[in-house]
Structure 1
Amino acid sequence: MKKEYSLKTINIISIVVPVVVAVLLGIRSKPYLGEWTSVLPHLNACINTLTSVLLITGLVLIKQKKQMAHRIVMTSAFSLGGLFLVCYVLYHLTNSSTSFGGEGAVRVFYYFILISHIVLSLVVLPLVLRAFYFAVVQDFQRHKKLVKFAYPIWLYVSITGVIAYLMISPYYA
């Protein structure tokens, strides 16, 4: 029963989070919480960079059969994902979206990166939540099976988040 409840909770979170983000992006009148919120995209880029490093480190550690170190690193990456989400929501709650000013091929590349990043971030959320859950309950067979899909998507989303940030950062007000 507890396992079923946990998986239902993961399903609910996987639906609620994207809906909340979509609603926040659509809000025209943004509350003012202070200038500090303008640094959140920069913080998120740092979080995504560190997450990418931790994901690669976690893979190396598990290949070396260092399970405890792997657990610590991957829990850190998971925690950074939560921090990223809080910062992302706060930023979009309080700031208008920034338009990309590039033209030509760089514009096409930016939107390819951005759209694939957004779509895969929706896909990876339930995968990562489930993979983390299976690890916590020590269902390592299901964890390993799921991680084969979740890991490369999570790494791609983390890296493309940084790329998208680097490309749009010159256009922040």
Structure 2
Amino acid sequence: MPRPPEPLFLDRIDTPVGDGLVVFDADGALRAFDWVSHEARMHLLLRRQNGPVTLTDRAAPKAIAEAFAAYFGGNLQAIDTLVCRTGGTAFQRSVWAALRAIPAGETWSYKRLAEAIGKPAAVRAVGLANGANPIGIVAPCHRVIGSDGSLTGYGGGIERKRWLLGHEGATFRDLAA
């Protein structure tokens, strides 16, 4: 018998780089953050990583709303203590945990991220896990750049990645500039 869909809640927040989508559970744990322009991707990741879910509109818990407001207001560590609960494989969760260890204002290469989880040969798999990250910004996949210091892809779009890294004071090679 298939399990019933997990009830989750959805709120929309204004950010300087577009409206964000915040998904959380009944305990107030963050389950996903993505951009309105990438809502279909968010739903796909939620289904792949958690099985069936239902989303109901509800205001985000105060802790989540205030943390995102503070982050975008300049307190870059405000999101670091958010409680998150993700699906995914053990490998993916290890990559997402390592992402949370990258300090604001720093960038890592995919190679360094692979080394941080003790899997130095798994650079490609780390890249795939990075791309499947359901809690963007909080598990800051935007802080992962090419080994030559250049910007690489970002699920929320390269312009947002450029803005987020600039907001955090990170150094990177901007090939578009």
**Could you tell me the TM-score, scaled by structure 1's length?**
0.22
| Larger helix share, 1 or 2 | 1
**Could you tell me the TM-score, scaled by structure 2's length?**
0.22
Higher relative contact order (CA 8 A, sep 6+): 1
Rg comparison, structure with higher value: 1
| Larger strand share, 1 or 2 | 2
